[in-house]
């Protein structure tokens, strides 16, 4: 299986790189730089493309040159947010125009341009799967005030809906993961029991997300999960 992960350098993306593949699989990571201390299962081949998605056209052209002819799984784990997002100091009116443009370039424009290049390769697979990392901020009445981040994650839902209809006859499975607040400080190497204690019920260990995606990859070609909502257990919005 060939698994491509966008936004693979740290946090959840890194956990996907280290936790999803099995012996014989190929993992292709995309981020601004490759971590030097990745730990993968024996027998997994790792490839990496260094690209800056804040410059979508340049990044996409660079990535396209080295893509394999076929992909089985694409995970778009792309998402940056406002400097003071998710805090009491957040103020939409104080966001700079440059910051907003950069967020849209990374979160939406780069995603659309990359998918245009990934999907023809996915469709050569017997079981093409596309997984988009969204956010509970993209859900109606999410209770969050972050304008640019929320807009970009709502936009991701629109991308997913359109792709499902456009490629349904070709059996492209498109799943949106609507994730709540994550514990990205504790990597997969940290025991789950320990990682789950951080935040005292307000944060989701990356381990949980990896396990859910592992289940998605094991589904038959006859079904798919359209949307998966995963909030923290004490998230009062849900």
Q: Are strands 45-50 and 26-31 parallel, antiparallel or unpaired?
A: parallel
Looking at residue 74, what is its pLDDT? 98
Looking at residue 19, what is its pLDDT? 95
Looking at residue 12, what is its pLDDT? 96
Q: Are strands 204-205 and 26-31 parallel, antiparallel or unpaired?
A: unpaired
Question: Which pTM was predicted?
Answer: 0.94
Q: What angle do CA 61, 169, 138 make, to 5 degrees?
A: 65
Looking at residue 79, what is its pLDDT? 86
Give domain 2-230's CATH architecture.
3-Layer(aba) Sandwich (3.40)
Q: How many whole angstroms from its chain centre is CA 64?
A: 19
Looking at residue 168, what is its pLDDT? 95
Looking at residue 143, what is its pLDDT? 86
Distance CA 106, CA 101 (A): 9
Domain residue spans of the chain: 2-230
- Per-residue confidence of the chain (238 residues) as pLDDT tens digits? 999 999 999 999 999 999 999 999 999 999 999 988 898 999 999 999 999 999 999 999 999 999 999 999 999 999 889 989 989 999 999 999 999 999 999 999 999 999 999 999 999 999 999 999 999 998 988 889 999 999 999 999 999 999 999 999 999 999 999 999 999 999 999 999 999 999 988 999 999 999 999 999 999 999 999 999 999 999 988 8
Looking at residue 138, what is its pLDDT? 87
Question: Which residues, 6 or more positions from 205, have their beta carbon under 8 angstroms from its beta carbon?
Answer: 182, 183, 186, 192, 195, 196, 198
């Amino acid at each position: 299986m060939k698994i491509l992960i966008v936004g693979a350098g740290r946090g959840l993306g890194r956990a996907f790189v280290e936790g999803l593949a099995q012996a014989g699989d190929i993992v292709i990571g995309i981020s601004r730089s490759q971590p030097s201390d990745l730990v993968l299962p024996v027998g997994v081949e790792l490839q990496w493309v260094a690209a800056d998605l804040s410059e979508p056209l340049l990044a996409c052209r660079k990535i396209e040159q080295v893509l394999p002819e076929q992909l089985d799984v694409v995970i778009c784990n792309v998402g940056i947010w406002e400097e003071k997002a998710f805090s009491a100091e957040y103020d939409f009116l104080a966001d700079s125009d440059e910051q907003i443009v950069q967020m849209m370039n990374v979160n939406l424009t780069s995603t659309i341009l990359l998918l245009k290049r990934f999907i023809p390769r996915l469709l050569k697979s017997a079981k093409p799967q596309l997984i988009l990392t969204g956010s509970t901020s993209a859900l109606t009445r999410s209770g969050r005030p972050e304008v640019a981040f929320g807009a970009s994650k709502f936009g991701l839902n629109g991308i997913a809906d359109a792709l499902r209809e456009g490629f349904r006859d070709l059996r492209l499975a498109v799943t949106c993961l609507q994730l709540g607040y994550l514990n990205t400080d504790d990597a997969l190497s940290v025991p789950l029991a320990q990682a789950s204690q951080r935040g005292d019920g307000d944060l989701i260990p990356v381990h949980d997300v990896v396990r859910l995606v592992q289940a998605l990859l094991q589904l038959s070609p006859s079904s798919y999960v359209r949307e998966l909502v995963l909030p923290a257990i004490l998230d009062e919005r849900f």
